Amino acid sequence: MSERRADRSAWLRPALAGIALLLSCFSAAAQVRRETLDIGDEPGRVSTEEVVIEDGPYARQVVFFRSQEAPGTVVVHTSERFLYLVMPGNRALRYGIGVGREGFTWSGLVKVSRKAEWPDWTPPPEMIQRQPYLPRFMAGGPGNPMGSRALYLGSTVYRIHGTNQPETIGHAISSGCFRLANGDVIDLFTRVPVGTKVVIRHGPSI
């Protein structure tokens, strides 16, 4: 009986070692995917348009905001993770946002060039080169990483858009776009017309 057990043990050891190696490979591949999916996207994950940030600093709220910009201007502070819609009387409507990760931050002055509801997503060639597993095109809808609305910024590839991952608000995770929870970007979409001035600031405000 002991010889049979010894034979079984000798046969099982290499099999178990092979399984462990295979699981390790799958885990490593999953880790690489998590690290390289640079906009935090999960194509196909469904998030409804009603999602908003209701609590904490990233909840939509009117705040004191001293600015020389005219009411109606959008000011994005990437380092703070906030987007401000300037209002009269040194006030602004503030939204929590997700921003570009290190190496993908930018600043400048642009205008909203167009708007879209449930926009399609066509990853640019640079993103496809970095992440060849991404879809080349994805129709708009609840499972689209672009979310429920998009405001296109000038002639750049960047947008202010929704997301199917509202838990990423407040993080530096994108490839340069600015993301809001779907309910918040719908609110912003109704307030901001095409042609609106958008100021992108990366450094902390003074």
Residue 54 pLDDT exceeds 90: no
Rounded to an integer, the average pLDDT of 73-98 is 97
Residue 84 pLDDT exceeds 90: yes
Q: What is the pTM of this model?
A: 0.74
Structure tokens at 177: 């776009």
Could you give the C-alpha distances from 70 to 61, 83, 113, 173, in angstroms and in order? 19, 15, 18, 30
Using one digit for the tens of pLDDT, what is the confidence trace for 89-143? 999 999 999 998 877 888 999 999 999 999 998 887 877 887 788 888 888 888 8
Active-site residues, by number, are: 161, 177
